[in-house]
Chain A
Amino acid sequence: MKRGARTVADALVLAALVSYAIPFFWQLLTSFKPEAELLRVPPLLPNQLTLAHYRAVVEKSLMPQALANSFGIATLTTLLALALGIPGAYAVARLPLPGKRFLLLAIVASTAFPQIATVSPLYLLMRALDLRDTWSGLVLVHTSFALPLTIWLLAGFIREIPIEAEEAASVDGAGLPGLFRWVVIPLLAPGLAATALLTFLFSWNEFLFAYTFTVSEASRTIPVALALFPGVFEVPWGDIAAASMLASLPPVLIVVGLQRFLVRGLVAGAVKE
């Protein structure tokens, strides 16, 4: 394609994608629109911008606490999933295991588990263990759901590591911890980042379990806080828009900022196919 035509085509594609993201930008605009102008459309653009909605959300709503809860739970989930997943993925990728085929099948099948199927027993379990309305309960449940995918992804990445590197380490006399510390984890870094990112995202965005297992601000996560956003007479669209933006900020920043890792991780997986 000629240079000029290509540039025009590029611009068109970008324009199309900007239009695709319009729902997001509209919500962003709404969060800055004064209350009085919200329901009076057209005109689409407001006369002035205001921070009133953000102030209302930060000062009077439960969102700040929910943000802290979400952040803590997602971080702990990621750490726990990696702590369990890295050794597990290594075992799957490199070591002979009794009943490995069955194990793999079970792990793959677990990725397909519908949450609705396990929510009733887990509800009874959490009630018995008194883990409702705590971070631990939700972290455990999120981890159990993220673990199969974590292992599957990491196993794929581990297979990329040249076997010579591991053999060199064992020749050097490194035990299992040494092997992980000096060979596996460093070489796994980009795949690790992609997996950690996906796990964090999953935990942050998860709704069904969070809705069922959280009660109060002590453990309520962002999606639940947003779904239960209180209104009096009418729905406070502006406040909800501001809360939505705050809720999306971390995941959007992560995904957009680390998209290179994401794509690279997927490319590696795709090449392996």
Chain B
Amino acid sequence: MRSRAWFAPLGAFLVWLLMLGGCVGRPEGEPVTLVFKYARILGSADPLPGLLRAFETAHPGVRVKGEALPWTSDDQHQLYVINLEGRSPGFDVLMLDCIWVPEFARAGWLADLTTHLTPDELAPHFASAVTAGMYNGRVWALPWNMNVGLLYYRTDLLARYGLRPPETYEELIAAVKQIRDGERDPALEGYLWQGKQYEGLVVNVLEAFWANGTRLLGEDGTILPEPARAADALRFLRGLIEARLSPAWTTAADEELSRRAFGDGHAIFLRNWPYAMDLFQAAGSAVRGKVAFASLPGRARGAAGAGSTGGAHLAVSRRSRHPELAVALARHLTSRPAQRAIALGAALSPTRRDLYHDPELVQARPDMPRLDGLMLAGRPRPVTPAYLLVSSTVQPEFSAALVGVKSPERAIADARGRLNYFLEGIR
């Protein structure tokens, strides 16, 4: 009776919109596209595009698409978790923080790489990096780059007062006091580290635990086996802030904030990762030639200091549509030439030990041989699928203690209680 002329076009428009929306899915076909998710590389030049193009040349008909991850480790983890659990395709090769590998392997999101590797293929890498990429005796991720916590210090300031790099925190504190008294510069901070509520905080607190002779998880999996020592370590960190040996903004500081302040010449000591050295030595840096690094100090009553190890691994998604190619890409990016290019072009340290004595690398980065020894002496964070659960549970407690809203004892007690409940839930 009435014309329904507008129904049909409207319906067609809606269908068109829906199809545009990709509910039909992405079409398969030439060329094969591999998606490589990674965090942007810090450093003077980004060697990644060159490496990806080299892979494309070696595999005609294959395109590699590099996609950036969010900036912080916790945001990256959240993105991965939401999407890998959500069974999204579209990830082929993943850059993972080494602490996630057991978790992702346990969840069944990664492809088992063991059968794709030759027997001694992983021998050239640091043993701890190889272990970090394994779970239940199988290899789930290939070591890509390596990190260790270091103590940076101003060589010019220490030399001026005849001091050597501190081996204990007590020495460090004494050095800070002496230098600040001498320099009389109100803008000069003492010891910078990362106290913001994120994964970096857990790293810093763990290093304090180890310096105090205790740990987060015991051998048998006990949570905080020596709570008194752990509380003492927390109190020590809080004390640094209260005594203004570390600035008040330490509780908001991440790697970049602390690195920037030290790089502007406003601090004597800094705890950070190896990448920072490259930036300190860059042209135009205020501290060029005045910075060196040493191993992290211990506490005077005997425990040697240890830096936390870290780094990134490359894994292959179990839902990848092109598993063979993806594994090939991962092996290509962790090969010796690739790691060498990355070490030269960016500020990332390789996991292959022989590269630390490679002539060209040593010339560009004279600290490489020393770094080799420091990497060996580093300690990993607890290697367990539950690490992220543990870390996200203790972060607010540690932060509360650092900010001063909770006593260290209370923070440790609350951390234990909460961890007990959550770990019980996954048993």
Binding site for B on A (CB under 8 A): 69, 72-73, 75-76, 79, 123, 126-127, 130-136, 139, 177-178, 181-182, 212, 215-216, 218-219, 228, 230-234
Within 8 A of A (CB), among B43-80: 67-71, 75, 79
Check B17 against A75 for contact (C-beta < 8 Å). yes
Check B17 against A76 for contact (C-beta < 8 Å). yes
Q: What is the CA–CA distance of A131 and B90 in the complex, to the nearest angstrom? A: 14
In the assembled complex, B21 has its CB within 8 A of some CB on chain A: yes
Check B21 against A123 for contact (C-beta < 8 Å). no
Known A-B contacts A132-B86, A134-B22, A212-B82; A234 and B256 likewise in contact (beta carbons under 8 Å): yes
In the complex, 6 of the A-B residue pairs with CB atoms within 8 angstroms, ordered by the A residue number, are A72-B17, A127-B85, A127-B86, A136-B18, A230-B68, A234-B256
For residue A29, give the distance in angstroms from its CB to the closest CB of chain B.
25
Residues of chain A lying within 8 A (CB to CB) of residue B86: 123, 126-127, 132, 215
For residue B16, give the distance in angstroms from its CB to the closest CB of chain A.
10
The B interface is mostly helix, strand or loop, or mixed, namely loop
Residues of chain A lying within 8 A (CB to CB) of residue B75: 228
Best-surrounded residue of B18, B42, B79, B85 (most CB of chain A within 10 A): B18
Check B87 against A218 for contact (C-beta < 8 Å). no
* Chain A residue with the shortest CB-CB distance to B40: A232
Check B14 against A79 for contact (C-beta < 8 Å). yes
Q: How many A-B residue pairs have CB under 8 A?
A: 74
In the assembled complex, B1 has its CB within 8 A of some CB on chain A: yes
Check B83 against A215 for contact (C-beta < 8 Å). yes
Within 8 A of A (CB), among B232-273: 256, 260
Residues of chain A lying within 8 A (CB to CB) of residue B68: 230
Check A76 against B71 for contact (C-beta < 8 Å). no
Q: What is the CA–CA distance of A150 and B42 in the complex, to the nearest angstrom? A: 48
Check B2 against A228 for contact (C-beta < 8 Å). no
Residues of chain B lying within 8 A (CB to CB) of residue A127: 85-87
Check A178 against B1 for contact (C-beta < 8 Å). yes
Check B2 against A178 for contact (C-beta < 8 Å). yes
Q: What is the CA–CA distance of A231 and B68 in the complex, to the nearest angstrom? A: 10
Q: What is the CA–CA distance of A136 and B14 in the complex, to the nearest angstrom? A: 11
Q: What is the CA–CA distance of A230 and B68 in the complex, to the nearest angstrom? A: 7
For residue B86, give the distance in angstroms from its CB to the closest CB of chain A.
5
Check B88 against A215 for contact (C-beta < 8 Å). yes
In the assembled complex, B26 has its CB within 8 A of some CB on chain A: yes
Check B256 against A134 for contact (C-beta < 8 Å). no
In the assembled complex, B23 has its CB within 8 A of some CB on chain A: yes
Check A181 against B90 for contact (C-beta < 8 Å). no
Check B21 against A134 for contact (C-beta < 8 Å). yes
For residue A123, give the distance in angstroms from its CB to the closest CB of chain B.
7
For residue B196, give the distance in angstroms from its CB to the closest CB of chain A.
14
Q: What is the CA–CA distance of A167 and B2 in the complex, to the nearest angstrom? A: 18
Check B256 against A135 for contact (C-beta < 8 Å). no
Check A216 against B90 for contact (C-beta < 8 Å). yes
In the assembled complex, B20 has its CB within 8 A of some CB on chain A: yes
Residues of chain A lying within 8 A (CB to CB) of residue B67: 216
The 8 closest A-B pairs by CB, nearest first: A135-B21, A136-B23, A134-B23, A230-B68, A218-B22, A215-B88, A132-B86, A232-B40
Other-chain contact of B90, A69, A215, A232, A233 (Cβ < 8 Å)? A215
Known A-B contacts A132-B86, A234-B256; A73 and B21 likewise in contact (beta carbons under 8 Å): yes
Q: What is the CA–CA distance of A126 and B69 in the complex, to the nearest angstrom? A: 23
Best-surrounded residue of A130, A177, A216 (most CB of chain B within 10 A): A216
Within 8 A of A (CB), among B372-386: none
Residues of chain A lying within 8 A (CB to CB) of residue B23: 131, 134-136
Q: What is the CA–CA distance of A218 and B68 in the complex, to the nearest angstrom? A: 15
Check A231 against B71 for contact (C-beta < 8 Å). yes
For residue A13, give the distance in angstroms from its CB to the closest CB of chain B.
39
Check A232 against B42 for contact (C-beta < 8 Å). yes
Residues of chain A lying within 8 A (CB to CB) of residue B85: 127
Known A-B contacts A127-B85, A132-B86, A178-B1; A230 and B17 likewise in contact (beta carbons under 8 Å): no
Q: What is the CA–CA distance of A73 and B17 in the complex, to the nearest angstrom? A: 9
Q: What is the CA–CA distance of A220 and B333 in the complex, to the nearest angstrom? A: 28
Best-surrounded residue of A76, A134, A212, A215 (most CB of chain B within 10 A): A215
Q: What is the CA–CA distance of A156 and B202 in the complex, to the nearest angstrom? A: 55
